Chain A
Amino acid sequence: SQQGEEDPQALSIQEGENATMNCSYKTSINNLQWYRQNSGRGLVHLILIRSNEREKHSGRLRVTLDTSKKSSSLLITASRAADTASYFCATDNYGGSQGNLIFGKGTKLSVKP
């Protein structure tokens, strides 16, 4: 069943601008992960934030998690044309011990040079 819901569904920005994508989910989670998918390709893991963490950074990526609101955001700073892709949030309810990921519908990001 669908868990994460990304917002917006599509986002178009200019190179150099920041891109913010939001994700909401419904049930308790062990961790939340963000993935990137280029058109017609597999997914690439970007970042994982655990339920007891509030913010995490990785390079130009910043992820926040608010478990009280059951929401997360992904910020890509100083975007590049190569960041053009679909971004999915996914919740892991079991910490990988037995579970699987439940994906949102994704945000399609277009970065114009």
Chain B
Amino acid sequence: GAVVSQHPSRVICKSGTSVKIECRSLDFQATTMFWYRQFPKKSLMLMATSNEGSKATYEQGVEKDKFLINHASLTLSTLTVTSAHPEDSSFYICSASRQVLLYGYTFGSGTRLTVV
């Protein structure tokens, strides 16, 4: 089946530094990947749609200069949280799909970011 690998699973960083999160589709090519953010005991909120070879599409209220997305290949999208602040601490999850109507979306295992 479709596998999406997300790395790292946990990261702790200091305020003001940048953190990169990787999302890879292991056994299929993904021209589009999605980045979500989940607050404790809350639902997932879409942050942006990552498009291979072009600019990402950000949801309203998401700062594109703060959350940099790069989708340089058909199997890799990266999310970089720049100049991180404690309020950026959250659970970030990526997803992609091979054939949505057959398999739904496949999610990475998520990244727990803690900014201290």
Contact = CB atoms under 8 A, between A and B. Distances in A.
B101 A31 contact: yes
Interface string B39-70: 00011111001000000000000000000000
A84 interface: no
Contacts of A41: 109-110
A47 B103 CA distance: 8
A45 B105 contact: yes
B104 interface: yes
Interface residues of A, number: 26
B77 interface: no
The A interface, classified by DSSP as helix, strand, loop or mixed, is strand
A41 B109 CA distance: 5
Contacts, number: 61
Q: How large is the interface on B (under 10, 10 to 19, 20 to 34, 35 or more residues)?
A: 20 to 34
Interface string A30-47: 010101000011111111
Interface string A72-113: 000000000000000010001001101011111110000000
Given A45-B105, A48-B104, A95-B100, A101 B110 contact: no
Contacts of A35: 104, 107
A40 B110 contact: yes
B21 interface: no
